[in-house]
Amino acid sequence: MKTISIDNSYDVTLLRAGDAVELTGVIYTARDAAHKRFVEAADEGLPLPIDIRGAAIYYAGPTPARSGEIIGSCGPTTSARMDDYAPRLLDMGLKIMIGKGKRSPAVIEAMKRNGAVYLIAVGGAAALIKSRITACEEVAYPDLGCEAVRRLTVSRLPLLVAIDSQGNNILV
């Protein structure tokens, strides 16, 4: 198991498809509606609400937290829903995408071009994922409800490298 600390600018190009990893640091939740807004902002020359350079985005829309909890259920969303927007964000510096399911050839080419990786979380493991989230803060697009962008701090979040920065892919 490889340990990745996002705060220390881990070189994701060292990861290989099939590697098991534990991720620690700050990640952002964002689904298709937020991705669309990111790209629209970039098209208009406006700043994004998060610094995308070197960032990790988790494709999830957490449910509201119960009293005394940090976050509600926070399982992965099907990644293909973001494929229309992901190449643009990768070209802007996004380094890690986390979700479930296959990615399009255009996303894989953008990953290779930009030295990024795609990690998969186990669907149905929302309780395990939730237990690894130590902080949650809504940072953008509150009108999107559960799809608002959130800044999560995670500790030892277990993931698998599905597609590495060379385009090697365990999902084919």
* Residue 54 scores a pLDDT above 70: yes
Going by C-alpha positions, the residue among 142, 153, 146 that lies closest to residue 65 is 146
**Which structural domains are found in the chain, ordered by start?**
2-163 (3.20.130.10)
Is pLDDT of 154 > 90?
Answer: yes
Q: In this predicted structure, what is the pLDDT of residue 172?
A: 87
Residue 126 vs residue 85, higher pLDDT = 85
Q: Say what the pLDDT of residue 122 is.
A: 80
pLDDT at 139: 98
Reported confidence tier of residue 153, pLDDT bands at 50, 70, 90: very high
Long-range contacts of 79-82 (CB under 8 A, 24+ apart): 79/103, 79/118, 80/104, 81/31, 81/32, 82/30, 82/31, 82/32, 82/35
Q: pLDDT value at position 51?
A: 96
SS3 state of residue 76: coil
- From 35, 95, 130, 150, active-site residue: 35
Q: What is the pTM of this model?
A: 0.96
- Determine whether 128 is an active site residue: no
Reported as a single tens digit per residue, the pLDDT across 20-40 is: 999 999 999 999 999 999 999
| First-residue to last-residue Cα distance in the chain | 22
